[in-house]
Amino acid sequence: MLKSLPSTFGSTFRTAYLKVVAVILVIAMIGFPLVSHYGITVDEGTEVAMVRRNIEFIVKGTPIPGDLKYFGPVFNVASEIMFQAQQYLTKGRSYNPLDYGAELNDRQTRVQALAGRVKVKHYMTFLVSLITYAAVAGIVGTLCGADYAWFGALTLVFFPTFWGHSFFNPKDPPFATIFTLTTLLGAYLVNYYLESDEPIKVGKNRATFYAVLFGILVGLLTGIRIGGFLFLFFILATYLILRLGKGGSRRDFFNFAGLYLLLCVTWFATNTICYPAFWSNPIAGFLETIDYLSGHRLQIVVLFDSKFIPIQNLPWNYLPTWMFMTIPLIFQIGFVVGTSLIVAKYSKLSTLQRACAILVLFQVLFLPLVAIVKHSPMYDGMRHFLFTLPGIAAISATAFIWIYQKLSKKSFKIIAASFITVVFVAIAFDMIALHPYQYIYFNRISGGLKQAQGQYETEYWGLSLREGMEWLNKNATPGSTVLVGGFLYSAELFADPNLKVIGYEPEKLAGVPRPFHYLAWPRWDAQEQLPECPVVHQVIRQGVPLSIVKRCD
């Protein structure tokens, strides 16, 4: 019996699900120790404040000030709950999670509270991102067979933009996660409604139960970013395309219409719960949010093709250019080939595979095309379209697998596998060289990060202010002043207590005693300020300076 254990274990481990679990565990083992390496983004203070303001609205019945009411709070609330649970376990029953008084009245307390919340939020962001790898594995397993699902999860790892954002970005990775999961489960829902022998109508049955569950899932998706409501149309279009292809009676359409209406009602209820600002008038609140976010009234400019352009006046090719420059070429080719193969093989695909392929293509193509056609304002490269990357990874992986399966000779398969390995290793070296700023990756065909310098936004999140601040902790004279050209807390949270860290304000510069240091991020000409002061340190990746430190004597 003991002799049979290795054989039995090997056979069990080779099963598809354990392969996927093994890949995701390896990703987790690599990723979790790296979470603490990342700095703090310009948005994180706002994201934390959003939760407090929503709580104020609920407890006191006061309106949420500013435009924060338009941004989905689901992930922020989940992170706040985890932070508060941690505080409760640490401080005991006397801890009051609604007591924000000390934080609001004392800057040092507020900074410490923000640092604690950000730490929890970063771990939560990476934890949630792991679900995306599993969802991509599920899509690839659906299209190619369960034995190949693990390769889908592995492929997404080598998208530097997604990997980098998955450690700190408080909005886009969670949205990408739920979007991809919704795509996968939506395919199974459509397949169930089309292929099941059970009653497909509203009633005490599984069809109704699944409609409610899926409505809740789409509600959580829009609870992170309101644009996710379009998935309601994706699921309807996918069902109609496949139902018309299979044929069906008027009763089939009527029964599905009832389930779809229930799904939409469930979505609307969940979405309303997620937005406290909607509670008094859910329909008006939803429409107002759509109008606000589609217009992006922020008055900011972005660096694109060496010119600073207001986000409302960007050329149509802004998003396509960013996708071309920041997605590794192998995956751009893989996506085009994979889409072509899906079209060519469509008649041979099962209903489930067709539903999955259609929904993935909706996820990848629909919203970017709408943004381009509508000339929607955009900024921060393609980060608002980060949700397209899991779908691109899934279709690319599918293309590689289908081609691999078609190779008849073992030697050809070895060559193909070796080629993919070499390309993945090359991308991995770039990711290591950029760490912890993988999100500023530019592919080699675009000239890489060096070519992008001065032409396009690079380190727009301000993460490198942490590294600049840590250099100052070691090299600045205790008690000296540091002016920050960028978001203050991105540097302040990592500052030595012996340093005086304040925001750079030109009109108040005369009152700052010299010598002092100036720490600046590479955005909006911040590094061009104080030209008389020499640069004494630079945070550099791939030969490109990110944040810099000047000394003004």
Tell me the pairing of strands 481-485 and 516-520.
parallel
10-residue mean pLDDT profile of the chain (553 residues): values are 44 73 96 94 82 76 69 86 83 68 61 83 95 97 94 97 94 95 97 90 92 96 92 97 86 92 96 86 84 73 91 92 96 97 96 97 95 89 95 98 92 92 96 96 94 92 94 92 90 90 88 90 90 94 94 90
The pLDDT assigned to 456 comes to: 93
Three-state DSSP class for 282? helix
Instruction: Spell out a b/e string for 256-276, using b for 16 or more CB atoms within 10 Å of the CB, else e.
Output: bebbbebbbebbbebbbbbbb
The encoded tokens of residue 224 equal 């992170």
Q: Of the candidates 498, 493, 504, 491, which has an alpha carbon nearest to the alpha carbon of residue 475? A: 498
CB 142 within 8 A of CB 398: no
Alpha carbon 164 to its chain centroid, in Å, reads: 9
Q: CA 179, CA 97: separation in Å to the nearest integer?
A: 31
Query: What is the pLDDT, as a whole number, of residue 65?
Result: 62
Instruction: Quote the tokens at residue 397.
Output: 């992986």
Query: What are the φ/ψ torsions at residue 62 (nearest 5 degrees)?
Result: -95, 145
Give Cα separations from 372 to 65, 150, 227 (angstroms): 31, 34, 15
Residues whose CB is less than 8 angstroms from the CB of residue 200 and which lie 6 or more positions away in sequence, other chains included: 193, 207, 252, 255, 256, 259
Tokens of 297: 């009234």
- What SS3 string covers 339-365? HHHHHHHHHHCCHHHHHHHHHHHHHHH
Which two three-digit tokens encode residue 54? 């929503």
Residue 367 sits at the vertex; the CA angle it makes with 364 and 156, to the nearest 5 degrees, is 30
- Tell me the two tokens of residue 476: 């600045």
What whole-number distance in Å separates Cα of residue 84 and Cα of residue 154?
A: 34
- What Cα–Cα distance (Å) separates residue 404 from each residue in 134, 148, 252, 332, 424? 22, 11, 40, 18, 16
Q: How far apart are CA 156 and CA 133, in angstroms?
A: 7
At residue 500's C-alpha, the angle toward residues 300 and 503, to 5°, is 10
Q: Of 429, 462, 463, 438, which Cα lies nearest the Cα of 38?
A: 463
How far apart (Å, rounded) are the C-alpha atoms in residues 3 and 447?
Answer: 56
Under a CB-based contact definition with an 8 Å cutoff, are residues 443 and 325 in contact? yes
327 neighbors 443 (Cβ within 8 angstroms): yes
Q: Report the DSSP beta bridge partners of residue 310.
A: 301
What lies within 8 Å, CB to CB, of 208 at 6+ separation is 201, 202, 259, 262
The pTM of this model reads: 0.92
pLDDT of residue 414: 93
